[in-house]
Amino acid sequence: MISYHTTQIQGLSIFYREAGQPDRPTLLLFHGFPSASHMFRDLMPQLEDHFHLIAPDYPGFGQSASPDRSQFAYTFDHLAEIMTAFMEKLDLTPAYLYVFDYGAPIGFRIATQHPDWIQGIISQNGNVYQEGLGPKWADRQDFWTQPTAEKRASYRTAFAPATIKGQYLTGTRPDTVSPDGYTLDIAYTQTPGYAERQLDLIFDYQNNIKLYPKFQAYLRAHQPQLLAVWGKNDPSFIYPGAEAFKRDDPNTEVDLLDAGHFALETHARTIAQLIIQYFNV
């Protein structure tokens, strides 16, 4: 049974979902863009007999507080800081991490700063390698190198309804993806200030790529158990990014699924089974 909570972190209301008994190993579920913790709604029931599951919404996403960008810096460093404080307040360490999309640079920041907190990592289309960047990232490099107001405005297409729906459907078999997830994500784009805070994060994403060498050094130094389970048809984070983990961490298993970016929409049961088997929980 999933329960729903909020807690105060640095003056912000942070929403999270919880399932499983607290005496089981903790698994933190870090969502991606343009979604929130509801992306784990099918996975959590599959794992609640094996883990204590916690899935938060970051500030500016889902049901968590969304302060105006004039009062809150929407950077990945700042989101990782809030999630670190969240873990400390709820006494969630040590823990396994499930990182997806934006959750990867957030989770890997925490792992590099607190390696003793990390029992293992599941990376589901959560990239930390140049090899995993799809073609769209070349255009973003131009925006990062020579930013203009016009280029910034052009990235509003990243959270247009058709784009969000495409993120869910591209690379999946027809008629296998429920509309629930992308419909809710589209609804969240209509909340006040959504566009500007998300554009801030799109611009800041360049700093995640600059940290890839540091994330990879963490993997070489600590070699956590790592399950890279990937929707192999994802055009945003392509599957060579999954295979690259093996270069730095010999304790890596790679499983490529016939799915797109949001692989949990079609493969939640399969991913749960892979997690249970690999971590032997």
Whichever domain contains 145, its CATH number is 3.40.50.1820
Q: What's the number of domains the chain is made of?
A: 1
CB 121, CB 97: distance < 8 Å:
yes
User: Of these residues, 31, 38, 52, 261, which one is catalytic?
Assistant: 261
pTM above 0.85, yes or no: yes
pLDDT in tens, the chain (281 residues): 999 999 999 999 999 999 999 999 999 999 999 999 999 999 999 999 999 999 999 999 999 999 999 999 999 999 999 999 999 999 999 999 999 999 999 999 999 999 999 999 999 999 999 999 998 898 899 999 999 999 999 999 999 999 999 999 999 999 999 999 999 999 999 999 999 999 999 999 999 999 999 999 999 999 999 999 999 999 999 999 999 999 999 999 999 999 999 999 999 999 999 999 999 99
50 is known as an active-site residue: no
Q: Which domain holds residue 51?
A: 3-279
Structure tokens at 119: 């029992």
Residue 126's nearest CA partner among 217, 213, 66, 212 is: 212
Cα separation, 157 vs 147, in Å, equals 16
Q: Where are the beta strands (DSSP E) in the chain?
A: 3-9, 12-19, 26-30, 52-56, 95-99, 118-123, 226-231, 252-257
